[in-house]
Structure 1
């Protein structure tokens, strides 16, 4: 631990990043339960009618960007309806969701595993970083053909995957354990929806452009909003799958994809639950703490993730009309699980925990308890009400330990009758 703290302090000195709680500025969070005209929100009805729409609009305008057009699935191609998987214990489904507009076409490939001989199955759905074939060494998963960031060590060369990349992320996707617990799992490669680069000429964004437009408007969707949109399209399909219980679809994501999962859950209330794993800045962590990654650093490194309006708040977090506890609150009254990691100071674990605490005020409007504690729990000691939280020993990652907590939390939230 001493070595880690010395390392963190040296890194902070070299980069100018704050990892010292003593250097967190005094801050005041914007009021969660006071409307823009000063009206106090005292019940769930007022929250749903007044405050929730206000906050959703602010996040659209100032952070993630609004989705300017309604783009529906044009075609569904079933490449595999019920392939046998995992020694006959599961079925594998591979579905291509096709979108078209004028001369534009885009395909998002959805991989689904379900326990064999089960119906009405609850499903975890989330995006992956490098292609569906990376989540398992299953040789029958179709290789991604979208642009992927080069990583020769993973077999990704000239922005295309190879067989070498098959199963390289399987440690983050304990699919057999998820299936054994009675859940299905579904995933789409995020780059099928929008490649993770500052381009805006590929992916889904051109579908929304007007004549002469080459990038989203200052208040229009960045890549995270596009990824969230893709998750809602996955939900569209899952709602039609007779083997899936569409009332128990859990949206989840790790890191930048955790930011997308939170935004998707805010936009689409069909998701029954949301899991944010190490989502950090502009995910679960409070921006005003300016601890670890900040608005300034994230908009400089990844300007394409957000709408251009967010640039106004670089090093001016106190001027943001929202903070991330408000994003978490938009998930209410649906169950929410937030995670951190002890070595992931860049994502500000304490800021994630405090954000989850603050969101509990909206859960109380619905007569449920958010987080049942006020003090940050010890590592590897999960706590849960309608909002759950744990900080795991280790680095920025998603592990089998995390997945065990997700499954346990889902089991607590979904009653047997469902």
Structure 2
């Protein structure tokens, strides 16, 4: 009896110490900042020292600040910088000047003013195949793989980033196939359906489950013995016309021997101010708000797409 009591006390003390260690570990990470889109916008204005935003054009054509519909005067930048002139006024006359001087100037402008700067240290992505399914898209046999790219969050475990992607490749071609990456909803194009025998087992189990949950359902199923609660989706139509220019774009790709990958950009980074302390931007910033020249959603999406390659 004393031995049992001693073991219980030991387990309680160990669990208490473990819980304290977990709490201590969490305390070493900066707390997550949660903004609304409006708060994120105001935070950025404060960082830039902007007190108010210039009002947009009025929809009233008689107003002094009415919107312009005349293309001849719709030119806010009448004189664009010469792409082959350095900022110091010197002309680009050789390839070396272009690569070593002018091109870096242009990149700097785009990073500072448009897309933001990519962080020097971005965590690694580890890809795993979640589901593999053999399907038919129209008459084309394919393999569809649902992949998840987990971003290493060991330096800030308060944020999880799991990139969602669907890879679909035709199996009626030999050797490697080119793949087009696109942003969208990564769903299975035409999930494989169970055989009639398997479907009968599924329906039998489903009916038993429903009767167990509600015994009155037995009388309903007895009244309609041939009714199947779960049915199959239509299978491939072998008599359908071959894909042409009017077919779904992804089916045209598969018919041409290409594969495609659909990537969910929101699984990389949300496209709103409220999500900028989450996603890959939030993970790199450890849950803190962006600085004015930090990378934004567009560059984060490009980074995620590059990880798919």
Q: How would you bin the TM-score normalised by the shorter chain?
A: 0.5 to 0.7
Question: How far apart in 2 are the matches of 1:22 and 1:181?
Answer: 44
Q: 2:299 is matched with which residue: 225, 237, 250?
A: 225
- Alignment of 1:65 with 2:116, yes or no, is yes
Deviation string for 1:254-295 (max 9, x for gaps)? xxxxxxxxxxxxxxxxxxxxxxxxxxxxxxxxxxxxxxxxxx
Q: 1:214 is matched with which residue: 257, 265, 288?
A: 288
- Alignment of 1:89 with 2:141, yes or no, is yes
Q: 2:168 is matched with which residue: 104, 113, 122?
A: 113
> How far apart are 1:60 and its partner, in Å?
0.7
CA contact (8 A) 2:181 2:261 kept: yes
Question: How far apart in 2 are the matches of 1:20 and 1:100?
Answer: 51
Question: How far apart in 1 are the matches of 2:189 and 2:144?
Answer: 13
Q: Normalised by the size of structure 1, how large is the TM-score? A: 0.41
Question: How far apart in 2 are the matches of 1:203 and 1:172?
Answer: 35
Show the counterpart of 1:21.
71
CA contact (8 A) 1:107 1:192 kept: yes
Show the counterpart of 1:360.
none
Question: How far apart in 1 are the matches of 2:105 and 2:142?
Answer: 43
Question: How far apart in 1 are the matches of 2:277 and 2:253?
Answer: 37
Q: Normalised by the size of structure 2, how large is the TM-score? A: 0.54
Structure 2 spans left out of the alignment, 5+ residues: 1-57, 193-245
RCO greater where, 1 or 2, for CA within 8 Å and sep 6 or more?
2
Question: How far apart in 2 are the matches of 1:172 and 1:132?
Answer: 19
Q: 2:126 is matched with which residue: 55, 75, 79?
A: 75
Show the counterpart of 1:5.
none
- Alignment of 1:177 with 2:229, yes or no, is no
Show the counterpart of 1:193.
268
Task: Find the residue that maps to 1:175 and give its secondary structure.
Answer: helix
Task: Find the residue that maps to 1:89 and give its secondary structure.
Answer: strand
Question: How far apart in 1 are the matches of 2:170 and 2:121?
Answer: 33
Task: Find the residue that maps to 2:279 and give its secondary structure.
Answer: coil
Q: How many residues align?
A: 190
CA RMSD of aligned residues (A): 3.0
Where do 1:19-418 residues align within 5 Å? 19-25=69-75, 27-81=78-132, 83-86=134-137, 87-101=139-153, 102=155, 103=157, 104-116=159-171, 117-128=173-184, 131-133=185-187, 137-139=189-191, 174-199=249-274, 200-209=276-285, 214-235=288-309
> How far apart are 1:112 and its partner, in Å?
1.4
> How far apart are 1:113 and its partner, in Å?
1.7
Question: How far apart in 2 are the matches of 1:220 and 1:71?
Answer: 13
- Name whichever of 83-92 and 214-223 sits farther off: 83-92
